[in-house]
Chain A
Amino acid sequence: MNDIFTLTLISGVLVAAASGLVGSFLILRRMALMSDALSHVALPGIALGVVLHFAPIWGGLVFLFFGVTLIWLVENKTKLATESVTGVMFVTALAIGALMIPEQDLLEAFFGSITKLTVLQIGVQALVAAAIIAFILIYKKRLTLFAIAPDLSASLKTSSFKMQFILLALIALTITIGISFVGVLLMSAIVIIPAAAARNMAKSFNGFLAVAVALAILSLISGLLIGEAYGANPGIMTVLVSAGLFVLSLFWRI
């Protein structure tokens, strides 16, 4: 096991933990498919990075923020249904991105690739993940109340407008740091599936968050290790592990 793979695993633990937490709030807010759809919006940005030779993650980040801001404005300023706008946006982004990316790089963008990660990128991913985790833990109560009862949250003078943007920004950041592990098509493997499985299993809220984090870490690390051992794509392995855990969660209430 080389040093860079070890660093990738460490960063993977943090990224998975952040994803499990963000996914938990998305599930409560019934925005589960948002992360899946949004991750596609990163593709044109990633394509620009590949074509113009800069780290694709930055291109992805810019496009994601463009995407969440657009969704947020549509939700708040127009009468258009968010779902349909998101739908239009994500297939368009997918098509444009796929058109721009050279064919040999396309699979990596779709399903993730950790082979081209630099130490700097791994470090940035770990730091951003740690920041997301810290933010969620600090504002846990407010985020939770907003997610389960927006009216009660607003009655406590918390701006729903602001909270929704914060949640969308957390999704964008999480996708940005998760894409290199699982790719744009498989992001929900570490964001939604662990949180959905945790909801099946947990009785308390803290238990729900803890189980979501644990399952996300277990899925991603298993995926990376299996990928490394058998030369398989780690993103695909991660999805298979997390899907397996989801099936188990249907029978195992803790």
Chain B
Amino acid sequence: MDSSPLLEVKDLTVTFDGRSVVNDVSFTLKPQEVLAVIGPNGSGKSTLLKTLVGINKKYSGSIAFAPGAKIGYLPQRFHVDFYLPMTVREFLDLKPEHKYSLEEVLRLVEIPGNWLDENLATFSSGQLQKILLAFAIIDQPQVLLFDEPTENVDVVSQESIYDLLHELQDKTGVAMVIISHDLNVVYRYAQTVLCLNEKMLCYGPPIEALTNETLSHLYGDHAFFHHHHFGDHHREEGHEHHHE
């Protein structure tokens, strides 16, 4: 198998209003690799992802995808107006290229086929995320970029989307960049981890990269050593995550 990188990022710096939000980030993503980017809120994770996707165009450094590589993107937020008149079928049809049939893609993301003609507004945020995943993979991208939602998705849905991504990765070998604040995600799903708090604090296989020292640096001493604080901090943002 060709192991030349699918994505090569060098010295990426993103600046907003004179303040650098992402500083000197470099990494590579190989085919079938799962890279988790972790860091506290406001650490520049989402900005990094939006820059990779091409939504944010103001950056310095280089972002090089392998020639012809397609990317699928799962945004952090997708606010469907309750009155948006659109069925799942119509939404999926908005993707310019289809390589899976609608039935195939629904099976992959474990959505019942009878959802196709239901209105988007009738689904929960967890269900919408599966629909978004179907949208992201329907043209069989080589790289999937996933921005973890920070609101309105319950623990069960969140767990199941990760299991789904994991299965999808097994079945299709799609490479992934996953943005998360949750360390469990890293240990369970990723081969490589990148710690980000405006600048890169670690990069490598989780067991080697995630030392106690790095983690306290990343989340701050009090947050790491007192898990209650960690939990409280997240609940403030509308989370229900449990950290063991």
Which residues in A have some Cβ–Cβ distance to B below 8 Å? 28, 141-142, 144-145, 148-149, 151-152, 154-157, 160, 198-200, 202-208
Contacts and interface: CB of A to CB of B under 8 A. Distances in A.
B86 A155 contact: no
Contact of A204 (B54, B78, B87): B87
B85 A199 contact: yes
Given A145-B94, A205-B90, A154 B54 contact: yes
Contact of B93 (A28, A141, A142, A149): A141
Interface in B73-99: 73, 75, 78, 80-81, 83-87, 90, 93-96
B169 interface: no
Interface in B203-229: none
Contacts of A151: 50, 53, 55, 73, 75
Interface residues of B, number: 23
10 contacts: A28-B81, A148-B84, A151-B53, A151-B75, A155-B53, A202-B85, A203-B85, A203-B119, A205-B85, A207-B85
Contacts of B119: 203-204
Nearest to A151: B75
B90 to A, nearest CB: 5
B87 A205 contact: yes
A115 B40 CA distance: 66
B85 A208 contact: yes
B88 to A, nearest CB: 10
Contacts of B53: 151, 154-155
Nearest to B78: A149
A152 B95 CA distance: 9
A68 B229 CA distance: 50
